[in-house]
A and B are shown apart, each in its own frame.
Chain A
């Protein structure tokens, strides 16, 4: 049930998604892996939209060089844990949202337990080994995962729905290199917001999400292209010979 305060706070979106849509947002639990360039804008907009519970996962501390894009971390936060810095800002932004902080690195071992309570996962990480671990956990728990990545003026995003769409491993079977990449702050801003946008659509049921589509953003001329994707039957993570297929009965 929404309080009068909440109905007022979200009135401009309730007129679009209805109180039922707002209730869905309030009941949702989004696990956001990474509170950097992608995670900050994604978390800020999901918090403002009234997602009921947001779990932030990150094991980094705020550095000076983060501040051109990681908008929840400020000058005074340098040296502090990112999850704490982000949680403080989000709690101040919207006291109706429950924010949890988990100071951990996402690994194959811990990812399933970190995400099992989620209604959906946002992959706002900065390296492919952790992204693959999150993908495995999403498949294992049957939870949609919204993947986004950036470099320089380039970014991409897709929504992975276990059993229905290509998974991260199908799309990117070999990890792209490079972690300390150049980045113009607005690039993760745009992709992070698209991730929040996909999350709001998935939770409320409005519109259609990027299922089996990879959206590619080119910031040089501000153009967007989408390419069609398919599941790879030979995929190590979700293909016919994977433990995922055996467990879900997809392997016939």
Chain B
């Protein structure tokens, strides 16, 4: 199935603007992020910590709705879902 990935800020530099990704039927957010992380070391470092967990501060949105941190592991995607990823900034 095809899902759309919208990457913001630093992710956009690494992943590109909008990607349509073909992932196996029944895949979830975790599988999608793993597929993105496999694209390059930089991608993986941005998404995952040293223990392979999705970095805590990253904001994941599915169909423009913010996904709760504890829902990342359990959220299953459907055809044409849009997943947005934003690593928030902190400076002023």
CB within 8 Å of B: which residues of A? 34, 36-39, 124-128, 131, 148-152, 154-156, 171-179, 181, 183, 188, 216, 218, 220, 225, 227-230, 232, 234
Contact = CB atoms under 8 A, between A and B. Distances in A.
Chain B: interface residue count, which band? 20 to 34
B57 A228 contact: no
Interface of B: 6, 8-10, 12-13, 56-57, 59, 61, 64-66, 68-69, 84, 86-92
A173 B92 contact: no
Contacts of B9: 151, 154, 216, 218
A157 B1 CA distance: 34
Nearest to A70: B92
B66 to A, nearest CB: 6
A68 to B, nearest CB: 13
Lowest 7 CB-CB distances: which A-B pairs, in order? Answer: A151-B89, A126-B92, A174-B56, A154-B9, A181-B91, A174-B57, A176-B90
Contacts of A39: 92
B65 A149 contact: no
22 contacts: A36-B92, A125-B92, A149-B88, A149-B92, A150-B89, A151-B90, A152-B10, A154-B89, A155-B89, A156-B86, A156-B88, A156-B89, A175-B57, A176-B90, A177-B90, A178-B91, A218-B8, A218-B9, A227-B86, A228-B66, A230-B65, A232-B68
B57 A188 contact: no
Contacts of B12: 218, 220
A34 B59 CA distance: 25
Given A174-B57, A177-B57, 5 more contacts: A37-B92, A154-B8, A173-B69, A218-B8, A228-B64
